[in-house]
Copies of this chain bind each other. A is one copy, B any other.
Amino acid sequence: MPTRPKYGNRPTMKDVATRAGVGLKTVSRVVNGEPGVTSATVDRVRAAIAELGFRRNDSARILRKGRTASIGLLLEDLGDPFYSALGRAVEEVARDHDSLLFTGSSAEDPEREEELALAFCARRVDGLLVIPAGTDHRYLLPEMRAGTAVVFADRPAGRVAADTVLTDNAGGARTGVAHLIAHGLRRIGFLGDRPQIHTAGERLRGYREAMAEAGLPVADRWVAMGPTEPARVAAALDAMTGGDDPVSAVFAGNNRITVGVLRRLADVPLDRRPALVGFDDLELADMVTPGVSVVAQDPARMGREAARLLFRRLDGDPTAPRTLHLDARLIPRGSGELPPRG
């Protein structure tokens, strides 16, 4: 007595073959649209398929064929608008390549990233698109050697050579800070994400470079790196806008932090607010008063380019790994053009 698999009792090709009075291989031919079957036979098989409600088990097919026609997308947080826009773009490209998409959020936890990545590999995804949470991806080397294509996006791969798509984070921050400087602001603070996050460090670097280029000093208390929770951001903002050495402008290191700053400033009269430029765009940034000036990335483009690189590898591209740099674009809307206070 054979065990019944747990998923009900689905008809198999064998059942269809029996019902149609043909061989198994003939059913396979019909299901896959292969030539060399009389139309009469095709009809009989099709009828049996319809009667039994047969649907080919792609898991079995995959086991035999090798390619799973699926890729895994590992991002930081599906719920973040930046990453969901990126994910949607990846999905479109996957669809163009008849591939399905596994999605998982690492929640900025390297262990969780590894766990998910290896789970995807165990499912034998053809490729992996990773927004890194960790900084050491050598755990992927055996998978890559075994043929799994891997592309990194948003942050660089750790100790592994692979295609990567990055925004020019330092350059973007430099542009944003230079914009503040051009508007007469000289005492500029930087509010960033945790320093171990690569993009946070790069943006901080861009900030320092812009300040240095303009010959402006940076006081220690003007730089605050840490979690993006509203309370932390508010406290850090208060610290650098208060005291006897207050900043008159702030560069916010990402969308979460910009939102935190905006909330904290909501009750502050316009003429007492620091100028503000944020990294990453926000949905209603142009509707707020004053409009929020930002350095915008293009998450959809990042997703699209990364996915294209991935499928190029799957198509057999043998060239050396490359890194694609995307520009960040300054969008002035008012908050970054406020005059310096007193």
Interface flag for A28 (CB, 8 Å): no
Q: What residues of chain B lie closer than 8 Å to A148, measured between beta carbons?
A: 7-8
Interface flag for A126 (CB, 8 Å): yes
Q: Assess the B91–A104 pair: CB atoms within 8 A.
A: yes
Interface segment, A38-46, A60-68, A182-190, A321-329?
A60-68
A89 to B107, CA, bound (A): 12
With A100-B102, A146-B9, A287-B263 as contacts: A88 and B79 at CB distance below 8 Å: yes
Q: Assess the A63–B63 pair: CB atoms within 8 A.
A: yes
Partner of A65, one of B6, B83, B126: B6
Q: Assess the B287–A67 pair: CB atoms within 8 A.
A: no
A308 to B63, CA, bound (A): 30
The size of the chain A interface, using a CB distance under 8 A, is 67
A242 to B182, CA, bound (A): 43
Interface segment, A161-169, A208-216, A233-241, A278-286?
A278-286
Q: What residues of chain B lie closer than 8 Å to A57, measured between beta carbons?
A: 63, 122, 124
Q: Assess the B142–A283 pair: CB atoms within 8 A.
A: no
Q: Assess the A63–B55 pair: CB atoms within 8 A.
A: no
In the complex formed, the residue of B with least CB distance to A121 is B55
With A85-B79, A87-B78, A289-B289 as contacts: A7 and B126 at CB distance below 8 Å: yes
Partner of A283, one of B6, B56, B282: B282
Interface flag for A58 (CB, 8 Å): yes
Q: Assess the B91–A147 pair: CB atoms within 8 A.
A: no
Interface flag for A118 (CB, 8 Å): yes
Interface flag for A262 (CB, 8 Å): yes
In the complex formed, the residue of B with least CB distance to A87 is B78
6 closest Cβ pairs, A-B complex = A8-B147, A5-B66, A6-B66, A84-B84, A53-B142, A79-B88
A-B contact pairs, 12 of them (CB 8 A): A7-B147, A8-B145, A10-B146, A53-B146, A55-B143, A78-B78, A79-B88, A262-B284, A263-B286, A266-B286, A282-B283, A284-B288
